[in-house]
Amino acid sequence: MYSTNYHRPSSVEEAVALFGKGSDPKYLAGGHTLLPVMKQRLAGPSDVIDIAKIPGLIGVEASADALTIKAATTYYDIMHNADVKRTIPAIAHLTSVLGDPAVRYRGTIGGSVATNDPAADYPAAVLALNATVKTNKREIPADQFFKGLFMTALEDNEIITAISFPIPAKAGYAKMRNPASRFALTGVFVAKHKSGEIRVAATGASQNGVMRVGVIEEALKANWSASALDNVKVSDEGLMADIHGTSDYRANLIRVMAQRAVDAAG
Amino acid sequence: MGIEGIGASVVRKEDRRFITGKGRYVDDIKIIGMTYAHFVRSPHAHAKIKSIDVEAAKAMPGVVDVLTGQQIVDDKVGNLICGWAIHSKDGSAMKMGAWPAMAPETVRFVGQAVAVVIAESKNLARDAAEAVVVDYEELPAAADIKAAIAPGAPQLHPEAPGNIVYDWEIGDQKAVDEAFGKAANVVSFELTNNRLVPNAMEPRAAIADYDSAEEHFTLYTTSQNPHVARLVLSAFYNIAPEHKLRVVAPDVGGGFGSKIFIYPEEMVALWASKKVGRAVKWTGDRSEAFLTDAHGRDHVSKAELAFDKDNKMLALRVTTHANFGAYMSLFSSSVPTYLYATLLSGQYNIPAIYTEVIGVYTNTTPVDAYRGAGRPEACYLLERLVETAARQLKVDPAELRRKNFITQFPHQTPVIMAYDIGDFNASLDAALKAADYAGFPARKAKAKAEGKLRGLGFSCYIEACGIAPSKAVGSLGAGVGLWESAEVRVNPVGTIEILTGSHSHGQGHETTFAQLVADRLGIPINQVSIVHGDTDKVQFGMGTYGSRSAAVGMSAIFKAMEKVEAKAKKIAAHQLEASEGDIVIENGEFKVTGTDKSIALPMVALAAYTAHNLPDGMEPGLKESAFYDPTNFTFPAGSYICELEVDPGTGKTSFVSFVAVDDFGRLINPMIVEGQVHGGLVQGIGQALLENAIYDDTGQLVTASFMDYAMPRADDVPSFKVSHTETLCPGNPLGVKGCGEAGAIGASAAVINAITDAIGNNKLEMPATPDRVWHAIHAA
Ligand SMILES: Cc1cc2nc3c(=O)[nH]c(=O)nc-3n(C[C@H](O)[C@H](O)[C@H](O)COP(=O)(O)OP(=O)(O)OC[C@H]3O[C@@H](n4cnc5c(N)ncnc54)[C@H](O)[C@@H]3O)c2cc1C
C-alpha cells in the first residue's frame, strides 16, 4: 500500500469538506473493494475519508411504502434487521448470500452501489425494485444511476446517503455464485410491484453491468410463475464470457435464476 | 501402551501454540538491523532483458542497495539444480536449461525475478522496486504443452531443442503391443490433469543473516527440509560450506510439497546479506506465491487398457506429456516418471504396462511435487479408465475392479514397484457397505423424480510412500539418499527430547512422535518434546514429504529408542542387582519380572548422568542416535466412493456422501490420521471441481488470485465418512504406511466418475466447473 492520510469525519458535510481539500481523495466505507485495490497498489489515494462511522449514514427505516437503508449500514446489520426481513425479505436473502462473513461484517450497501461491480448483488435489487439512490445532493432513480461497468451517475465528491426501495407486492433473488470469488456468476432479482409492473434485473451476466431482462419481464407479466419461463430464450448477445462461464451458459443462468427467484418470491 | 500411546487419539500438543497465535513463523522473526527485500519481477512470459537501470531506485529514500541478475552470476552463485537425473529412451541425459537465481539475460515466466531492492522497510523496498527500469524485448511465448511442442514453437532453452526435457519410457513395449494384439476389448481415453497452485496458508519467507566476523550465515526459511536446503545451498550454490551455514525452519504454515525446494529468493537473500552486511528479510505475498511457488500436476495423457474376453486386464499403454514450466525445479524430473508411471498398475493385476513420458518446457511457473506428486495423476488416469471400461463393457464398476484386484502379496508390478501387502477387497467391501451401494439405484431414481441427476463414482487408489530406500532411488537417478535420522536424549531428570530430521509443518509430529516414546516407556507425552527444523540442533535429516515421516522418520526414532532402552535396562539391572534379561519397562518403571523390585525412569537417567554406580566399563549418559533406511516403499491403498447430485439447470454439483476407506497400516493417532485424510480429500475435490491454474496464450497467469483461482471452502465439501482397514506394513518396525497424501491422490477420480455417471457423458475434464458440467449435459 502507498502511504495515505486517513480521516474520520463525523458528518457528511465534514466528509465533503475534507474531500475538497485532498489532491486525490477517496471515500472509504466497508473497505472491501477499496482496500484490496490499495494493497495491490492499483490505487493510491492521497486521502482516505472514512464515512463508515458517520451516525447519519447508518440505520434502516420502513414506512408502508418504502424501505430505506442508509448507505453505511453493513450487510450484517441489513440481513438481521427486522424491518428488512418483514418488508422485503428478498433483500435479506440477497445480503445473506453476498460474500462471506468477513465481507458482510464490514461491507456496506452504499459502497456496493457506488462501486457498481458488474457481478455485485445489490445493483440487481436496486434496479428491479426501482429504488431511489439518495445522495447529499439529489435523488437519482435506479434507471438513471447505473452507467455501465463500475460507472454510476455519481459525481466525484458525491456521497450516497441512503437507498430507498419501494415495497413490492412480491420479490425474489436467486444467485449462482462464482466458485472463486463468490460474487454473482449470474444473479437475478425479480419484482412484482404494487402497481402491477414487473421488473427483472440480472447481474454478473452482461458486459455492461447490471441489466433489465425484457424477455423475462414480458413472460412474467403474462404469467407470474417459474414455468412461464420454461421456453423463454434469453439471448447471449452482449453477455460476459470468461473462465468461469461462457456467454451461453450465462444466458441459461439468467432464465434458470429467474425461475428460482420467482419460486422464492412466491 | 497407555492412554497416550500408539493408537490413542491424543489432542495435538502443538495446537495450543497455533490456535492462540503463539506460533513462531519466519515472518515473526526480527533481527537487529534487518533490511527488507522486494523483488523486481518479469511481467512477460518470455523476453530478453535489454537493459536494467537501477540508478533512480538506488536514489530512493531508505534504499540500501539494488542488485541484479548479472551481479549474482558474476559472483558465481550457482544455477538452480534438479536433483534427480532422468535419462531419455536414447540414453541421453535430461536437458537442463540454465536457471540463475535472478535472470541476467532472458526471462522465461511471468514473475521470474530480475533484480532485488534491499531497503530499510518493506514498503520502501517496494516503492523503489517500481523505480527500477527494465527494458525488455518481448519474445513469443509457449504457454502450454501443445504450444511448446508444435512445429516452429518458440524455443525456451538452447540446451533443449524442441522444448523437450526428456523422452522417457518404462515397461515392456513389445509385451504390451502383443497383448493389445490379442485383446477382446480396448478402452481408450485422452485426458488432462489440471495444473494447481499449492497455496499453503503461509506464503514463503526467508531471513538471511551473515556474520562477517565468523563468515557464517543463518537462514530462517519456510522449508519442509532444512538439511536438504543446507546441503544444496552449500554443495551447489556456493553460498557457504555446511559448517558455516545454519538453516532454521521454525513453525511453517503448510507446504504440500511447495516448500521442499530451494528457491531463488532464499539464495538471493543469503547472497545479498553478505553484500550489504546486514540481515535481509523477504516475505512473499499471495500474488508472489501464485506466480513463483512451484505448481503441481499439468499432464496431458493418452491411455489405452486392453481386456480379454473375461474382462481381465491384459495391458496398459500410456503416453503422457508433462509440463515442467520454464525451468527444472529441484525434484520435478522424478514426479511424472518414478512417482507417476510406477503407480500405473494401481490395485490391479496388469501383466504388461508401457508408458512414455515426455517432459516439456513452457513459459510458465516451474512445476514440481505437490501433495501426492505423480500418484494423483496416475490414480486419476487409471481410475477414470477403469470406470470408463466398466461402462463400455457394461459391467458393474465394483465387480470389474474386484475381478482384476491383486490378491497375492508380495506382488511385483511390471513397473518397478513390489507391493508388500494389502487387502483391496476388504477396503472395497467396507466402502460399498458404508456407501450403501445396494441402495443407490433407488436413490438415483428418486433424485430423478425430483429433477436431479444423481451419480456414483469409485476410486480405488494405491500409492507408494515412505519415500524411500536409498539404494533403490539412487539407482533410479536420485541425488540423495532418502533415509531418516533420529536422536533420543534422556535428560538427567528423565524427560526426553527427540531430535528428528523430519519436519512438521502441519502434520502433528510433536504429538505423534511423542506418542511412540510414550508407548514404549509408558510415560505421558508431556514428558517428551520433539526438536526439529534446525541444522544446528539436529545433525542431519531428509525432511518431510511423500508421507514419509511416520514410516521413515518414526522408524529411526524406534531404532534409537531400542538402543536407549537397552542401555537403560543395563543400568536398571545393575542398580537392582538383577539380570538384564529380567528387566521389563512398564508405566515409566524398569521392573524385575516376577518381583516387586523396580526403579523409575528418572532414577535410571540420574544414575546414567551421575555415573556413580554404573556397570563396569559403561560410558555415562543416556543418549542414542540412529539412521533408518527403509527397505521398500510402503503402499497405502483404499477405496473411495463419491455420491453426488448435479443440478441440470446450472451444472452445479452437490455432494450426497463421500466414503473413504483407507489402509494405512497401524494408526498412531487416529484423530490426526482422520484430519490428514480430510485435508487430502479437500485438495482432491478442489482439483476435481474448483482449482485450475490457467495461462492465456501469452503466458499470463489468469488465475493469479483467489478472485479467480477457486480454493475449496468448507461448504464446498461434504462431511466425510472416513474409516480404515488394516494390513500392517511388513517393511518397517511400526507397521505404518503413511497417510498424508492419500486423500489428494484418490479423491478426484471418484468425484469425476460420479459426475460423468450422473450426466451420462464421459467427456469431462477437471475442474468440473458448473459451466463445464452444464455444457457436458447439453452435449450428451
Ligand atoms: C472476498 C470478497 C467477496 C465479495 N463478494 C461479494 C459478493 O458476493 N457480492 C457483492 O455484491 N459484493 C461482494 N464483494 C464486494 C463487497 O460487497 C464490497 O464491500 C462492496 O463492493 C463495497 O462496499 P464497501 O462498503 O466495502 O466499500 P469500500 O470498499 O469502502 O468503497 C468502495 C468504493 O465505493 C465508494 N463509496 C463507498 N461508500 C460510498 C458512499 N456512501 N457514497 C459514495 N461512494 C461511496 C468508495 O469511495 C470506493 O470508491 C466482495 C468483496 C470481497 C473482498
Domain final residue pick, B565, B597, B628 = B628
Nearest CA to B568 among B604, B593, B592, B603?
B604
* Mutate which: A37, A256, A263, vs B, most B CBs within 10 A: A256
pLDDT value at position A47? 98
Domain final residue pick, B628, B651, B671 = B628
Nearest CA to B652 among A99, A123, A260, A191?
A260
For A119, nearest residue in chain B (alpha carbons): B707
CB contact under 8 A, A179 and B710: yes
CB contact under 8 A, B123 and A3: yes
Q: Strand runs (DSSP E) across B90-140, as ranges?
A: 106-107, 113-119, 133-138
Over range A117-126, report the average pLDDT: 98
How far is B691 from B26, CA to CA, in rounded Å?
28
Total residues belonging to chain B? 780
Q: Which residues of A touch B717 (CB under 8 A)?
A: none
| Residue B107 to residues A62, A157, B134, B270, B497, Cα–Cα distance (Å) | 61, 44, 11, 22, 47
pLDDT of B780 > 80? The answer is: no
How far is B218 from B616, CA to CA, in rounded Å?
43
Q: Strand runs (DSSP E) across B184-258, as ranges?
A: 185-193, 205-211, 216-221, 245-248
| Residues lining ligand 1, Cβ inside 6 A | A 26-34, 36, 51, 71, 98-99, 103, 107-108, 110-112, 114-115, 117, 120-122, 154, 159-160, 181-183
Residues B724, B664 contacting (CB under 8 angstroms): yes
**What residues contact B25, with CB distance under 8 A and at least 6 apart?**
B202, B205, B222, B250, B251, B252, B253
CB contact under 8 A, B770 and A181: no
pLDDT value at position B467? 87
Assess whether the previous peptide bond of B524 is cis (omega < 30° from 0). Answer: no
pLDDT of B219 > 90? The answer is: yes
pLDDT of B384 > 90? The answer is: yes
How far is CA B300 from its chain centroid? 21
Euclidean distance between the first and final Cα of chain B, in Å? 58
- Does residue B753 fall inside a structural domain? yes
Q: Which residues of B touch A246 (CB under 8 A)?
A: 771, 775
Choose among B127, B708, B711: nearest Cβ to A243.
Answer: B708
CATH number for the domain harbouring residue B131: 3.90.1170.50
Give me ligand 1 centre to Cα A128, in Å. 20
**What residues contact A65, with CB distance under 8 A and at least 6 apart?**
A166, A167
Structural domain of residue B377, as residue ranges? 299-468+632-779
Residues B640, B522 contacting (CB under 8 angstroms): no
* Mutate which: B650, B700, B773, B775, vs A, most A CBs within 10 A: B650
- Does residue B175 fall inside a structural domain? no
Residues B307, B333 contacting (CB under 8 angstroms): no
Nearest CA to A199 among A171, A227, A175, A174?
A171
- Does residue B15 fall inside a structural domain? no
Q: Whose CA is nearest to atom 34 of ligand 1?
A: A111
Q: Which residues of A touch B774 (CB under 8 A)?
A: 249, 252
Q: Strand runs (DSSP E) across B610-674, as ranges?
A: 623-628, 637-647, 652-663
- At B2, the pLDDT band (50, 70, 90 cuts) reads low
Q: Which residues pair with B485 in a beta bridge?
A: B627
How far is B641 from B608, CA to CA, in rounded Å?
55
**Residue tagged 486419476 (cell numbers):** B380
A249 interface with B at CB cutoff 8 Å: yes
Angle at B231 between CA B225 and CA B235, to 5 degrees: 155
* Mutate which: A33, A100, A253, vs B, most B CBs within 10 A: A253
Give me ligand 1 centre to Cα A263, in Å. 29
CB contact under 8 A, A243 and B702: yes
- Does residue B152 fall inside a structural domain? no
B290 interface with A at CB cutoff 8 Å: no
Q: Which residues pair with A152 in a beta bridge?
A: A146
Same domain? For B303 and B279 the reply is no
- At A190, the pLDDT band (50, 70, 90 cuts) reads very high
Mean pLDDT of chain B: 97
**Residue tagged 532422468 (cell numbers):** B86
Within 44-103 of A, beta carbons closer than 8 Å to B belong to 100
Cell of A185: 456468476
Same domain? For B433 and B346 the reply is yes
How many structural domains are present in chain B? 3
B34 interface with A at CB cutoff 8 Å: no
How far is B9 from B240, CA to CA, in rounded Å?
44
Within 182-241 of A, beta carbons closer than 8 Å to B belong to 185
Same domain? For B354 and B322 the reply is yes
How far is A262 from B131, CA to CA, in rounded Å?
55
User: How do A25-28 and A47-50 pair as beta strands?
Assistant: parallel
Nearest CA to B466 among B725, B739, B274?
B739
How far is B505 from B516, CA to CA, in rounded Å?
19
CB contact under 8 A, B708 and A185: no
Residues B101, B272 contacting (CB under 8 angstroms): no
**Residue tagged 535472470 (cell numbers):** B103
Over range B210-225, report the average pLDDT: 97
Q: Which residues pair with B152 in a beta bridge?
A: none
Give me ligand 1 centre to Cα A99, in Å. 10
Angle between helices B264-276 and B226-235 (to 10 degrees): 60
Nearest CA to B162 among B175, B149, B146, B174?
B149
Instruction: Considering only CA atoms, give the Rg of chain A.
Output: 18
How far is A128 from A167, CA to CA, in rounded Å?
11
Q: Which domains does chain A carry? A: 5-50 (3.30.43.10), 57-166 (3.30.465.10), 170-265 (3.30.390.50)
Within 32-51 of A, beta carbons closer than 8 Å to B belong to 40-41
Q: Which residues of A touch B707 (CB under 8 A)?
A: 180-181
Query: From the DSSP assignment, how many helices (H) and strands (E) are in chain B?
Result: 20, 28
CB contact under 8 A, A249 and B287: no
Same domain? For B508 and B527 the reply is yes
pLDDT value at position B9? 96
How far is CA B774 from its chain centroid? 33
Give me ligand 1 centre to Cα A153, in Å. 17
Same domain? For B366 and B509 the reply is no
Give me ligand 1 centre to Cα A22, in Å. 21
How far is B152 from A159, CA to CA, in rounded Å?
57
Q: What is the pLDDT of residues B577-589, one digit of tens each?
A: 999 999 999 999 9
The Cβ of residue B544 has, within 10 Å, a number of other Cβ atoms equal to 31
- Does residue B566 fall inside a structural domain? yes
For A183, nearest residue in chain B (alpha carbons): B707
Same domain? For B446 and B526 the reply is no
Q: Name the residue of A6, A8, A27, A70 to mutate for ligand 1: max ligand atoms within 8 A of Cβ.
A: A27
Assess whether the previous peptide bond of B730 is cis (omega < 30° from 0). Answer: no
pLDDT of B1 > 70? The answer is: no
How far is B697 from B639, CA to CA, in rounded Å?
39
Q: How far is B708 from chain A (nearest CA, A)?
A: 5
Q: Which residues of B touch A2 (CB under 8 A)?
A: 127
- Does residue B72 fall inside a structural domain? yes
Same domain? For B283 and B241 the reply is yes
Cell of B610: 551421575
- Does residue B652 fall inside a structural domain? yes
Residue B275 three-state SS: helix
Nearest CA to B687 among B192, B246, B22, B301?
B192
Q: Whose CA is nearest to atom 27 of ligand 1?
A: A111
Same domain? For B225 and B342 the reply is no
Dihedral of alpha carbons A218, A113, A120, A264, sign: negative
- Does residue B406 fall inside a structural domain? yes
Give me ligand 1 centre to Cα B88, in Å. 55
Nearest CA to B727 among B641, B630, B635, B660?
B635
**From B350-354, B481-485, B487-491, the region with the lowest mean pLDDT:** B481-485
For A246, nearest residue in chain B (alpha carbons): B771
How far is B694 from A76, CA to CA, in rounded Å?
34
b/e sequence B635-656, b meaning 16+ C-beta within 10 Å = bbbbbbbbbbbbbbbbbbbebb
CB contact under 8 A, B708 and A176: no
Same domain? For B491 and B354 the reply is no
Q: Name the residue of A11, A34, A37, A160 to mutate for ligand 1: max ligand atoms within 8 A of Cβ.
A: A34
Angle at A17 between CA A15 and CA A22, to 5 degrees: 95
Q: Which residues of B touch A245 (CB under 8 A)?
A: 769-771
Same domain? For B592 and B659 the reply is no
Nearest CA to B741 among B670, B668, B662, B671?
B662
Helix or strand (DSSP H, E) at A260: helix A247-265
Q: What is the pLDDT of residues B68-112, one digit of tens each?
A: 999 999 999 999 999 999 999 999 999 999 999 999 999 999 999
Same domain? For B621 and B666 the reply is no
Give me ligand 1 centre to Cα A117, in Å. 8
For B693, nearest residue in chain A (alpha carbons): A243
The Cβ of residue B32 has, within 10 Å, a number of other Cβ atoms equal to 7
Same domain? For B82 and B217 the reply is yes
Atom of ligand 1 nearest to the CA of A120: 11
How far is B391 from A146, CA to CA, in rounded Å?
52
Q: What is the pLDDT of residues B590-602, one digit of tens each?
A: 999 999 999 999 9
- At A75, the pLDDT band (50, 70, 90 cuts) reads very high
Domain final residue pick, B277, B292, B307 = B292
How far is A234 from A33, CA to CA, in rounded Å?
31
Q: How far is A250 from chain B (nearest CA, A)?
A: 9
**Residue tagged 519481477 (cell numbers):** B41
Within 673-692 of B, beta carbons closer than 8 Å to A belong to 689-690, 692
Cell of B99: 536457471
CATH number for the domain harbouring residue B538: 3.30.365.10
pLDDT of B454 > 90? The answer is: yes
pLDDT value at position B396? 98
How far is B400 from A98, CA to CA, in rounded Å?
46
Q: Strand runs (DSSP E) across B194-330, as ranges?
A: 205-211, 216-221, 245-248, 280-283, 299-307, 313-325
**Residue tagged 457423458 (cell numbers):** B761
pLDDT of B416 > 80? The answer is: yes
Nearest CA to A69 among A161, A168, A3?
A161
Atom of ligand 1 nearest to the CA of A28: 30
Atom of ligand 1 nearest to the CA of A181: 3
pLDDT of B654 > 90? The answer is: yes
Euclidean distance between the first and final Cα of chain A, in Å? 47
pLDDT value at position B468? 87
User: How do B299-307 and B185-193 pair as beta strands?
Assistant: antiparallel
Q: Which residues of B touch A231 (CB under 8 A)?
A: none
Over range A146-172, report the average pLDDT: 97
Q: Percent of chain B beyond pLDDT 70?
A: 100
